[in-house]
Amino acid sequence: MSLPIDTIRALANEHPKPGHLHFQYGTAGFRTLGVNLDSVIFRVGLLAGLRSKKLDGKTIGVMITASHNPEDDNGVKLVDPRGEMLEASWEAHATALANATTTDTLISTLDQLVSSLRIDLSKPAKVVYARDTRPSGASLVASLEDGFRALNIEARNAGITTTPILHYLVRAINTKETKEPYGDDTEEGYMQKLSGAFKKLVAGKPAIPPLIIDCANGVGTQAARELGQYLGSSLPLVLHNTDTTSPGILNHGCGADFVKTQQKLPPSLAAHLRPGQRACSLDGDADRLMYFYLDDRGHFHMLDGDKIAALVAAFIVDLVKSAGLEEDIRVGIVQTAYANGGSTKYLSERLPVRCVPTGVKHLHHAAEHYNIGVYFEANGHGTVLFSPETQVKLAEHQPSTPAQSTALTHLNNLVQVINQTVGDALSDMLLVEVVLAHRSYSGIEWDSLYVDLPNRLVKVVVPDRAIFKTEDAERRLVNPPGLQSKIDDLVRKYESGRSFVRPSGTEDVVRVYAEARVRAQADELAFRVAGLVYDETGGDPAQRPSEFL
């Protein structure tokens, strides 16, 4: 069987590639201004079909979202059959297809892929797809559907939903009628699975006070609303920033990325949050989660992905011990260079900790090496993985005491409440609430597990971020030459100083992270390193990062 060239040609001609643009499948798929993505999304439709055929007709996911980015951006990522990110070797194929300059080169690139990857075109192709609430989403879905039509792909539209729900659906569809079904392959199935396990985990605990959720004016709004109905009084949710239709407000002055990068309360919550009350922010596609609270003096305290990892990992370790399984089950943590030095110290005194490059795909794979792998990026993106063998062990282990039995039941319910396919703000939120309920912690006790080193993240706009190359899990620059030693010289001047520079995978900027013993020093170090980066790339002196200098 060969490619349906005529159909592909006719449809591809309706989605021409803009001549001047180069696209790259990066940290989170393709991501750029929504108006530039028509051809890319059409071609992703084709690629999803090839991927499914290559995997013997397993269902592949396609999510149209730009997550925490501004509203005008959009993007697309592919999801592999177990709900994990697209296999890394296929990222290059995605990039090649996206950059084919004409319909003819697109067809020849497809042909090459089919033969080099030995894809049997007679196999079926199945895809499930969804989008977030961005205004450009509807027309991009139409482009994607043309891609499906071109290859005669059986496609299921999951509508407007969160990234993690799409990942859930992919795994649920592919594990249906297998020995390890992930859940009913519907949004209701997701809600029931998570809320059901949550209710079992908090049964008998004192009533949980209401939790404020900042929905970032994004797609998390409707999912949180629905989840709230399933949870009922087990966890009262109070939703804010729920306007998904007014232009320009998605992720604007709110959401998980705002909280993390600004390290402050979304202004829209100021009138609603009482001292001591817990609140959390989702990002634009609800795969990141940040908690926070105000203390008695009204000071803002952020509980980020590192704090979530510390809270959750310690709880799981205790349960494993109480279940009598500490000799059999090894719990480990995966972080990135952004992890606060305070968290790394706290965690590595208790557990094995690995550092990997930014991007959930790297963390996910590293976490698979543990029996239970807890991975979180500081930005609030993460989850917990229970290896298949561990899940069997937990399901089959015979406890010898009532205490062991209780701990084992909790662990089995955690397996259900956690969305193990990818970081999931709503699932992570339930997980956090479970631990807080079991520990009788407020935000204050949670926050006091360890003290964060003051830190600062700065974006630098440079002419070409591709010249920045890193090594050692992005902790050191190898290019431009000589820049790392200048950074090292600066860092040495600051007590507990640490700084690194990496090109963003989702925005056209270079990111600079710095931390130090005191706030002013962390700020100063960040801006001085940003200045070095700027000078190195020959930017306009008028736009040099100048705060605190």
Whether 153 contacts 53, CB under 8 Å: no
- Report the residue number, 197 or 356, with the smaller CB distance to ligand G16: 356
Whether 524 contacts 490, CB under 8 Å: no
CA proximity to 196, closest of 394, 428, 413, 410: 413
Residue 134 binds to ligand G16 (criterion: CB under 6 A): no
Residue 263 gets the label, from left (phi > 0), alpha (psi -120 to 50) or beta, of left
- Report the residue number, 49 or 164, with the smaller CB distance to ligand G16: 164
- Say how far apart CA 174 and CA 224 lie, in whole Å: 25
Residue 511 binds to ligand G16 (criterion: CB under 6 A): yes
Whether 525 contacts 533, CB under 8 Å: no
Task: In angstroms, give the least distance from the CB of 41 to ligand G16.
Answer: 16
Altogether, the residues listed in the chain come to a count of: 549
Task: In angstroms, give the least distance from the CB of 25 to ligand G16.
Answer: 13
- Say how far apart CA 25 and CA 291 lie, in whole Å: 30
Residue 387 binds to ligand G16 (criterion: CB under 6 A): no
- Say how far apart CA 537 and CA 7 lie, in whole Å: 46
Task: In angstroms, give the least distance from the CB of 287 to ligand G16.
Answer: 6
- Report the residue number, 54 or 511, with the smaller CB distance to ligand G16: 511
Instruction: Write the CB contacts of 400 (distance below 8 Å, at least 6 apart in sequence).
Output: 324
Task: In angstroms, give the least distance from the CB of 503 to ligand G16.
Answer: 8
Residue 428 binds to ligand G16 (criterion: CB under 6 A): no
- Report the residue number, 30 or 450, with the smaller CB distance to ligand G16: 30
Task: In angstroms, give the least distance from the CB of 167 to ligand G16.
Answer: 11
Task: In angstroms, give the least distance from the CB of 283 to ligand G16.
Answer: 6
17-25, 398-406, 413-421, 501-509 -> range binding ligand G16 (CB under 6 A): 501-509
Whether 253 contacts 128, CB under 8 Å: no
Residue 24 binds to ligand G16 (criterion: CB under 6 A): no
Active-site positions read: 67
Binding residue count for ligand G16, defined by CB under 6 A: 18
Task: In angstroms, give the least distance from the CB of 231 to ligand G16.
Answer: 24
Which residues in the 442-481 window bind ligand G16 by CB under 6 A?
Answer: none
DSSP symbols for 332-385: EEEE-TTS-HHHHHHHHTTS-EEE--SSHHHHHHHHTTSSEEEEE-TTS-EEEE
- Report the residue number, 121 or 509, with the smaller CB distance to ligand G16: 509
CA proximity to 506, closest of 251, 169, 140: 251
Residue 167 binds to ligand G16 (criterion: CB under 6 A): no
Task: In angstroms, give the least distance from the CB of 360 to ligand G16.
Answer: 4
Over the window 105 to 124, marking each residue x when it contacts ligand G16 by CB under 6 A and - when it does not, the resulting string is --------------------
137-145, 166-174, 358-366, 412-420 -> range binding ligand G16 (CB under 6 A): 358-366
Is the CA virtual torsion 457, 459, 465, 468 positive or negative? negative
Over the window 367 to 386, marking each residue x when it contacts ligand G16 by CB under 6 A and - when it does not, the resulting string is ----------x-x-x-----
Residue 305 binds to ligand G16 (criterion: CB under 6 A): no
Q: List helix spans (H) across 13-88.
A: 38-54
**What one-letter code names the amino acid at 371?**
N
Strand partners, 385: 373
Among the listed residues 504, 537, 539, 544, the single contact to ligand G16 using CB under 6 A:
504
133-141, 146-154, 479-487, 504-512 -> range binding ligand G16 (CB under 6 A): 504-512
Residue 67 binds to ligand G16 (criterion: CB under 6 A): yes
Distance of CA 172 to the CA centre of its chain: 19
Strand partners, 386: 372
Residue 263 binds to ligand G16 (criterion: CB under 6 A): no
- Report the residue number, 379 or 413, with the smaller CB distance to ligand G16: 379
Residue 505 binds to ligand G16 (criterion: CB under 6 A): yes
- Report the residue number, 11 or 60, with the smaller CB distance to ligand G16: 60
Among the listed residues 358, 391, 413, 455, the single contact to ligand G16 using CB under 6 A:
358
**What one-letter code names the amino acid at 416?**
Q
- Say how far apart CA 169 and CA 173 lie, in whole Å: 6
Is the CA virtual torsion 147, 61, 23, 70 positive or negative? positive
242-249: Cβ within 8 A, 24+ apart: 242/215, 242/217, 243/217, 244/133, 244/217, 244/218, 244/219, 245/133, 246/217, 247/71, 247/135, 248/71, 249/71, 249/217
**What one-letter code names the amino acid at 88?**
A
Residue 506 binds to ligand G16 (criterion: CB under 6 A): yes
Residue 283 binds to ligand G16 (criterion: CB under 6 A): yes
- Report the residue number, 290 or 437, with the smaller CB distance to ligand G16: 290
Whether 320 contacts 372, CB under 8 Å: yes
Task: In angstroms, give the least distance from the CB of 177 to ligand G16.
Answer: 31
- Report the residue number, 109 or 217, with the smaller CB distance to ligand G16: 217
Among the listed residues 3, 28, 100, 487, the single contact to ligand G16 using CB under 6 A:
28
118-126, 356-364, 385-393, 520-528 -> range binding ligand G16 (CB under 6 A): 356-364
**Phi and psi, residue 283, nearest 5°:** -100, -175
Residue 132 binds to ligand G16 (criterion: CB under 6 A): no
The residues that touch ligand G16, with contacts defined as CB under 6 A, are 27-28, 67-68, 283, 287-288, 358-360, 377, 379, 381, 504-507, 511
